[in-house]
Structure 1
Amino acid sequence: MNTYFKLTILFLAMSLVSCEDVIDVEVQTAPSRLVIEASLDWEKGTTGSNQTIKLSESTPYFDTTTNTSVTNASVKVTNDDDGTEFIFAHQGNGEYVITNFEPVINQSYTLEVIHDGETYTANETLTSVVDIDNITQSIEDGFDDEELEVNIFFTDPEAEENYYLFKFQRRGDLLPVLEDGDDEFSNGREITWWYEEEEDEDTDEIEAFRPGDIIDISFFGISEAYSNYIGILIEQSEGTGLFSTTPVPLRGNCINTTTPDNYAFGYFRLTQVVKTSYTFQ
């Protein structure tokens, strides 16, 4: 009886192993595209003359290529009013830099990138940002009334529509968090913007803010067009819900004037930014 039982287990194990089939799944691929990271941010209190544009090439999701830098492009930005050209010099690593850029609020600029015989262009206007009036902490405004959140106070200008972008990054965290908004329901009034981190109940990792934590804050004034773009990008980065549409490649404002179908990823933006930090007490 004991021998019969052992043989039964052996045959059952063999049958289970023999039922394993290798399934080849065909993964969709897309052609490599130029990726243009052209965020020209003028930090308040500086001249804004030092700027960097990064160029790379997209790769398939499962590709293990680590060096995708574009090193043979020509990059320049032109002031559309007086025609002044700002030539960005390549540094050998996909970064193109300039040390004499001249930012002008409400001025329109045109980006031109020439790569592999094709020309990409984009146009954007430099958008200003108001000062931050005050930064505090509380446990009153967030989703969890037992956890700390940071509160940023600023006064929205009444004369025009305004669009804002916040970047929050706790020191020690790998990635920042982006949040966008506008003044549709608060035009001309003081706005309080709060941000909190919540406990991750699935992993038991402590993510909520604690006394002593330092959070770096960047506050941008952005154009309506960029607000529409970054809003979709933030939504896609947070994943899809039950009734969400499937994310698709997000196209920015960089147009290939040589071969329109071979468009680039990325965005050319010009913003003014306030940078500060806050230490939780």
Structure 2
Amino acid sequence: MKVIFNCIALFIMVFLNSCEDKIDLKLDSVADKYVIVADLHNANPSQMIVISRAVDFSNNSASNPVIGADVVVKNITSGRSYQFVDRSNGDYVMDRMTLREGNTYALTVQMPDGSLFESTCTMPAYVPVDSIGLVRKKTFDEEYIYASLSFLDPPAKENYYKYKLKLNNEDFKFSDVFSDKFNDGLFVEHEIANEDNDIKEGDEIQILRQCIAKDVYTYWSNIKGQNPGSAAPSNPISNISNGALGYFSVSSAQYYDLKVLQTKKL
């Protein structure tokens, strides 16, 4: 991997860690629906699925964790099944689970009330990053720092990318999603930042880059396109059956660490 020398000091490290997607949205009327967040990826040896019951966006109560569900993920390609362990707090975990690119996985969740929810996802191959760095750009009178990842997009194949970013001691948060609809087979640069665009010199950044399935891209693209000023934003399109909110994703992924010491002005 080559490094773009647009910063004087840049630390890059492949880092294995655990993180989960935090979905903080005002949704259209959810009528106490189930929310299943299953973001599995091969950058972690352990996996976690979070299940709760949502409350209507007009209700100030927090969502309620679901305890006692039966959660199984099956590798349809190999035939092996994984029974996730209930932690009695809405988290369902599998301490060690090998995920393989190109394999198809099926999620089955049976709730304590007998409701059944299912989904399938094929794990895409990881698209290697050629270079990573930091850039500073000026928009109107404000300057912003972005992490920049460059790579060759595989030709004649649909590819979808998702990024989460952790700044200093904060939690990982969704940053952005991209498709190769308009740059298939080209050399691509993705510039990402945290939601407040307030990365500054001295910050430590950790990025989780995931190659995701098309329906997972659609889900997060819906979230990205939400209008914060809408009185009742529509619910993102889930790939889980039976009207559940949330999503099921099995992705190939890689962590990258950067430290912002000094950046080159463009």
The structure 2 residue matched to 1:188, chosen from 181, 185, 188, is 185
Secondary structure of the structure 2 residue equivalent to 1:148: strand
**2:228: which partner in 1?**
239
The structure 2 residue matched to 1:102, chosen from 76, 98, 120, is 98
The reply on whether 1:176 has 2:176 as its aligned counterpart is no
**1:25: which partner in 2?**
none
**1:36: which partner in 2?**
36
The structure 1 residue matched to 2:110, chosen from 109, 114, 118, is 114
The reply on whether 1:221 has 2:217 as its aligned counterpart is no
The reply on whether 1:54 has 2:44 as its aligned counterpart is no
**1:253: which partner in 2?**
239
What letter matches 2:75 in structure 1?
Answer: N
Deviation at 1:63, TM superposition (A): 3.7
Q: Any unmatched runs of 5+ in structure 1?
A: 1-27, 201-206, 257-262
| Distance across 1 between alignment mates of 2:172 and 2:78 | 39
Contact in 2 for aligned 1:167/1:219 (Cα 8 Å): yes
Secondary structure of the structure 1 residue equivalent to 2:71: strand
TM-score after normalising by structure 2: 0.77
The structure 2 residue matched to 1:279, chosen from 248, 259, 263, is 259
Secondary structure of the structure 2 residue equivalent to 1:139: strand
Instruction: Name the structure where helix makes up a greater proportion of residues.
Output: 1
Deviates more, 1:247-256 or 1:225-234: 247-256
Deviations 1:20-54 (A, max 9, x none): xxxxxxxx9652111101111111xxxx5411111
The reply on whether 1:88 has 2:84 as its aligned counterpart is yes
Q: How many percent of aligned residue pairs carry the same amino acid?
A: 24
Deviation at 1:172, TM superposition (A): 4.6
What letter matches 2:252 in structure 1?
Answer: Q
Deviation at 1:226, TM superposition (A): 1.3
Larger radius of gyration: 1
Question: What is the root-mean-square deviation in Å for CA atoms of aligned residues?
Answer: 2.6
Deviation at 1:89, TM superposition (A): 1.0
Deviation at 1:66, TM superposition (A): 4.1
**1:8: which partner in 2?**
none
Deviation at 1:149, TM superposition (A): 2.7
**1:73: which partner in 2?**
69
Deviations 1:126-185 (A, max 9, x none): 122222222222235x63574433221222122522111112232255672421112223
| Distance across 1 between alignment mates of 2:55 and 2:232 | 20
Deviates more, 1:263-272 or 1:55-64: 55-64
What letter matches 1:219 in structure 2?
Answer: R
Greater relative CO (CA pairs within 8 A, separation 6+): 2
What letter matches 1:235 in structure 2?
Answer: G
